[in-house]
């Protein structure tokens, strides 16, 4: 049941994403024609892509607090008197650098990923009551015009993952935290949070709103999505369906309730409350035979921050035996009846066959010949769908024809848990974009048992895997500065702070907010070689990993490390370190997909910050 569980905490506040915008545009990757003026913020014109060129990539939580808590054996807690967890500060760890937010590629900015985030619950005395490491995950279900304001301010998406290596402080006085700890498996918790209202101008530039939920994590659950019921927005509901997200449900059979998450679905007004869209009801069944399961109480001020959009139905009673049996075996749907309307229309609906398929990990970076794995997870009416037949096919984001495709293989049948191993093997893309390394691909997956419209899956549901497949990069024996200069320079061009000269001073009369190392200058790089080497050798999950963009191929990293090690540190040579791209094959039987690559309108897949 994951975060969508009777025992959970909700939190709300702000976040800051200090993104760099120089790397938003393909042409900015052209080393030979890079103009230093691109590192200056644009003050006018039609190109608004470069609104924050000096961003560091840092992502931070601000003013976040626990707003409510619930548990299986007690009423909702909304004040510290109800449960001392209410009001706790939700922060990052103070003993490491800030987390980083990273686009996959300028051609795929719709799966931005968080690396190096640590979540803490801290009381008013500074005591850490819970701390966990956020397993890197990309946002999902990016939607436009959900919040007030145009552009990024109106967009919304969610991050779902697990907190690992969870440690606990003295939580004896909090029934919610105590039960959360007792329920969770292997020092892990489930977390999902929604970001919206992001500002790219004005005094709150770089800030946005966040609401979220922390719940228990159970063994064998998906990490990045709910293994439950999934209602897709329907075209006969409100206008402009792409503005709305899917909603997720879990049937709590033990308690005879349904938990439904509409946090990334409903519109949010300028005050941060759910906008009144009319009466929204959850039903089971199809057509006129559908039966109501209850109406969402979402209109009261403060509901969004207090609940993160999670509601429990029926509100005043449990399901009867007959109702529970019906819910477990029939599709769910959501209806909306705007104020003054006589009839309701279907807003969101589960597929009639109840089938849902999703990849556990849906963002990959691969080198030619490198092998990566993830699980496809199939459910039917929220239960594992065993012995189903999965298919997978790759398609390029690039409009060029006759491009090589990554090799995609998938186990012939799902196992008892509804899982089938998907294997991705990188290829040589042939450098079709010239001055940008590699190529972006998508992988769309389906089941033979479900009649799925792939165009809807890709462009409406956003349910596909994104891959950045790097170009090959040859090894060079005893590399010199000329062998690594362009690699360093590109990073300094795209991330001028803190990695380049100071092309402008942001405020008159103040020293420039530039630091330290100029990556285009050999002497400057040598001066900082030990620190650069340390950052290059950190695991990709670490917040101080270099580069912040995570767009450096294995071959380029190996060459840079070899050159830096040849310099030595304080006169002492640094021994070489083995860095490999080896991946272990599972040994399970696989079948190559013969599905034709789908035709995709890639304009719908891209998002520019």
With tokens 């990539």, the residue in question is: 57
Token pair of 115 as six digits: 């690396």
Enumerate the β-bridge partners of residue 113.
102, 138
Name all contacts of 93-99 with Cβ < 8 Å and 24+ positions apart.
93/118, 93/120, 93/131, 96/543, 96/544, 97/58, 97/543, 97/544, 98/56, 98/58, 98/59, 98/60, 98/543, 99/58, 99/59, 99/60, 99/134, 99/543
Q: What's the Cα-to-Cα distance from 109 to each of 140, 363, 437, 578, rounded to whole Å?
A: 11, 11, 16, 32
Q: State the pairing for strand pair 99-102/465-469.
A: unpaired
The whole model's pTM is what?
0.90
| Interatomic CA distance for residues 380 and 356, integer angstroms | 6
Which residues make Cβ contacts (< 8 Å) with residue 405, sequence separation at least 6? 394, 395, 396, 427, 441, 597
With tokens 């298919």, the residue in question is: 391
Torsion of CA 329, 330, 331, 332, to 10 degrees: -90
pLDDT at residue 174 in the model: 97
Residue 91 exposure: Cα atoms within 13 Å on the Cβ side: 16
Token pair of 129 as six digits: 């009551």
Which residues make Cβ contacts (< 8 Å) with residue 254, sequence separation at least 6? none
Is the peptide bond between 498 and the residue preceding it cis, with omega within 30 degrees of 0?
Answer: yes
With tokens 């009673």, the residue in question is: 317
* Angle in degrees, 0-180, between the axes of helices 554-567 and 529-536, rounded to the nearest 10: 150
Q: Could you give the angle at the alpha carbon of 357 between the alpha carbons of 230 and 140, nearest 5°?
A: 65
pLDDT < 70 regions, the chain: 1, 42-49, 235-244, 400, 459, 497-516, 569-609
Identify the CA nearest to 215 among candidates 84, 72, 65: 72
- Specify whether the CB–CB gap between 23 and 495 falls below 8 A: yes
Token pair of 427 as six digits: 């290829």
Q: How far from chain centre, in Å, is Cα 370?
A: 23
Token pair of 542 as six digits: 């670490």
Torsion of CA 40, 43, 46, 47, to 10 degrees: 20
pLDDT at residue 592 in the model: 46
Q: What's the Cα-to-Cα distance from 482 to each of 193, 284, 476, rounded to whole Å?
A: 45, 66, 11
pLDDT at residue 243 in the model: 60
DSSP state of 319: P
**Residue by residue, what is the 3-state secondary structure of 585-599?**
CCCCCCEECCCCCCC
The DSSP annotation for 476-543 comes to: -SS--HHHHHHHHHHHHHH-HHHHS--S--SSTTS--S--S--TT-HHHHHHTHHHHHHHHTS-TTST
DSSP state of 204: T
Would the CA dihedral through 59, 65, 67, 71 be positive or negative? positive
| Interatomic CA distance for residues 120 and 179, integer angstroms | 17
pLDDT at residue 508 in the model: 42
- Specify whether the CB–CB gap between 173 and 1 falls below 8 A: no
Cβ-based neighbour number of residue 43 at 10 Å: 6
- Specify whether the CB–CB gap between 528 and 555 falls below 8 A: no
pLDDT at residue 492 in the model: 86
Enumerate the β-bridge partners of residue 274.
268
pLDDT at residue 235 in the model: 58
- For residue 156, with 0-12 CB atoms within 10 Å meaning exposed, 13-18 middle and 19 or more buried, which class applies? buried
| Interatomic CA distance for residues 251 and 258, integer angstroms | 5
pLDDT at residue 571 in the model: 42
- Specify whether the CB–CB gap between 420 and 413 falls below 8 A: yes
Q: State the pairing for strand pair 465-469/363-366.
A: parallel
* Angle in degrees, 0-180, between the axes of helices 481-494 and 554-567, rounded to the nearest 10: 120
Enumerate the β-bridge partners of residue 164.
133
């Amino acid at each position: 049941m994951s975060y969508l569980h009777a025992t959970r905490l909700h939190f709300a506040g702000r976040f800051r994403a200090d993104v760099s915008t120089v790397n938003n545009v393909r042409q900015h990757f052209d080393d030979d024609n890079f103009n230093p003026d691109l590192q200056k913020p644009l003050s006018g014109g039609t190109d608004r892509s470069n609104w924050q060129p000096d961003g560091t990539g840092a992502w931070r939580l601000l003013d976040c607090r626990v707003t409510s808590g619930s548990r299986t054996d007690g009423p909702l807690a909304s004040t510290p008197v109800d449960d001392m967890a209410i009001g706790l500060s939700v922060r990052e760890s103070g003993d490491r650098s800030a987390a980083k937010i990273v686009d996959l590629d300028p051609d795929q900015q719709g799966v931005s990923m968080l690396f190096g985030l640590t979540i803490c619950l801290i009381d008013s005395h500074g005591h850490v009551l819970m701390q966990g490491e956020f397993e890197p995950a990309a946002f999902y279900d990016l939607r436009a015009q959900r919040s007030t304001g145009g552009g990024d301010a109106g967009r919304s998406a969610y991050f779902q993952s697990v907190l690992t290596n969870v440690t606990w402080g003295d939580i004896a006085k909090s029934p919610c935290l105590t039960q959360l700890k007792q329920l969770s498996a292997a020092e892990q918790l489930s977390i999902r949070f929604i970001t919206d209202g992001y500002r790219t101008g004005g005094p709150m530039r770089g800030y946005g709103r966040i609401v979220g939920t922390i719940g228990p994590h159970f063994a064998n659950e998906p990490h990045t999505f709910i293994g439950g019921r999934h209602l897709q927005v329907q075209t006969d509901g409100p206008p402009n369906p792409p503005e709305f997200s899917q909603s997720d449900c879990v049937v709590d059979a033990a308690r005879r309730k349904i938990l439904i998450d509409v946090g990334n679905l409903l519109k949010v007004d300028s005050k941060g409350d759910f906008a009144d869209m009319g009466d929204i009801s959850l039903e089971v069944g199809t057509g006129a035979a559908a039966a109501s399961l209850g109406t969402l109480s979402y209109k009261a001020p403060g509901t969004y921050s207090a609940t993160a959009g999670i509601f429990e139905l029926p509100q005043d009673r449990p399901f009867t035996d007959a109702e529970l049996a019906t819910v477990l075996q029939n599709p769910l749907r959501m209806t909306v009846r705007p104020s003054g309307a006589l009839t309701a229309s279907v807003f969101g609906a589960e597929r009639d066959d109840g089938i849902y398929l999703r990849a556990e990990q849906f963002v990959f970076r691969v080198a030619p010949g490198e092998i990566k794995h993830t699980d496809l997870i199939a459910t039917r009416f929220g239960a594992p769908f065993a012995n189903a037949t999965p298919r997978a096919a790759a398609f390029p984001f690039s409009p060029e024809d006759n491009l090589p495709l990554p090799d995609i293989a998938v186990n012939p049948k799902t196992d008892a848990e509804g899982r089938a191993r998907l294997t991705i093997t990188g290829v040589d893309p042939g450098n079709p974009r010239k001055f940008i390394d590699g190529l972006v691909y998508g992988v769309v997956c389906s089941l033979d048992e479900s009649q799925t419209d792939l165009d809807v899956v890709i462009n409406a549901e956003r349910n596909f895997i994104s891959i950045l497949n790097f170009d090959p990069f040859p090894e060079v024996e005893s590399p010199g500065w000329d062998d690594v200069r362009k690699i360093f320079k590109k990073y300094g061009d795209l991330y001028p702070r803190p990695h380049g000269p100071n092309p402008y001073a942001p405020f008159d009369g103040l020293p420039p907010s530039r630091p330290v190392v100029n990556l285009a200058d050999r002497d400057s790089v040598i001066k900082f070689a030990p620190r650069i080497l340390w950052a290059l050798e950190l695991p990709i999950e670490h917040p101080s990993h270099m580069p912040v963009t995570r767009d450096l191929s294995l071959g380029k990293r190996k060459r840079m490390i070899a050159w830096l090690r040849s310099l030595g540190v304080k006169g002492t040579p640094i021994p070489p370190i083995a860095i490999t791209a080896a991946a272990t094959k599972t040994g399970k039987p696989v079948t190559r997909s013969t599905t034709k690559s789908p035709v995709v309108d890639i304009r719908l897949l891209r998002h520019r910050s």
